[in-house]
Amino acid sequence: MNIGIILGAGSGTRFAGKTPKQFCILNNKKVIDYSIIAFEKSKHIDKIIIVVPKDWREKIQKENQEHLVISGGNTRKDSSYLALEKCPKNTKNVLIHDSARPLVSTELIDTCILNLAENDAVIVSLKSTDTIIRVDDGNILNIEDREKLYLNQTPQGFKYDLILNAHRNTNSIETDDFSLINLDKNKCMIINGSHYNIKITNPEDLEIAKSIINNI
């Protein structure tokens, strides 16, 4: 069984709005709805688990009665782990997706699942086209080699037992599930992301997403 986990429990402090960004309206739908629909369209996803803040759980569950909606934890890692614990016992693969990326495509979701047949984990990334500098307290430490740098997106895919055990065996607070696994001991693959698969971080990102939706 393949499970899609959609994380939408964050408070979105950088968004600076009264409504968490994942529940803001984007062309007559909530931001989170776009991810839900993309996962629903995938013939390779058998079950969807949606993670939201406690005070939104009842509302989102009523709107998505065919899916499991749970309350998230204090951190992203906590929310991922709570969802992993709710997966059926016969789960084989799991995709973990950030609801702040509403323009994820069903094609990308399918690609992730299909490549888990021969890999322990897959990560969606874009090769950096910008020069990246390493800075500490305002001081430039180094100009990084962009040929070796990628910009991570979601979903991230894992063999279920691998990512579940990784969560259980670490107490560190990570902002990325991929950071929990041992890259030396597991076969991992980079999947080309999409420039459309943007992350809603600031209010102006909603306008960018709206423009993309209206032109694709």
Domain housing 149 = 2-215
The answer for 137, left when phi > 0, alpha when psi is -120 to 50, beta otherwise, is left
pLDDT confidence tier of residue 103, bands split at 50, 70 and 90: very high
* Cα–Cα distance measured from residue 51 to residue 60, given in angstroms and rounded to the nearest whole number: 9
pLDDT confidence tier of residue 14, bands split at 50, 70 and 90: low
Which tens digit of pLDDT belongs to each residue from 28-49?
999 999 999 999 999 999 999 9
pLDDT confidence tier of residue 10, bands split at 50, 70 and 90: confident
pLDDT (average), residues 126-134 = 89
Return mean pLDDT, the chain.
Answer: 92
pTM of the model: 0.93
The answer for 105, left when phi > 0, alpha when psi is -120 to 50, beta otherwise, is beta
pLDDT confidence tier of residue 152, bands split at 50, 70 and 90: very high
Tokens 């939104």 locate to: 56
pLDDT of residue 138: 84
CATH number at residue 123: 3.90.550.10
pLDDT confidence tier of residue 19, bands split at 50, 70 and 90: confident
Q: Higher confidence at residue 62 or residue 129?
A: 62
pLDDT confidence tier of residue 13, bands split at 50, 70 and 90: low
pLDDT of residue 4: 98
Domain count, the chain: 1
Query: Is the confidence at residue 210, as pLDDT, over 70?
Result: yes
Q: Which of 167, 181, 176 has its CA nearest to residue 120?
A: 181
Tell me the torsion sign for CA atoms 40, 178, 88, 92: positive
Instruction: Say whether 108 sits in a helix, a strand or coil.
Output: helix
* Cα–Cα distance measured from residue 92 to residue 189, given in angstroms and rounded to the nearest whole number: 17
The set of residues, in sequence order, having a beta carbon less than 8 Å from that of 4 and lying 6+ positions away, is: 39, 42, 45, 47, 48, 49, 94, 95, 97, 109, 155
pLDDT (average), residues 133-161 = 91
Q: Higher confidence at residue 25 or residue 147?
A: 25
Contact status, residue 167 vs residue 80, Cβ threshold 8 Å:
yes
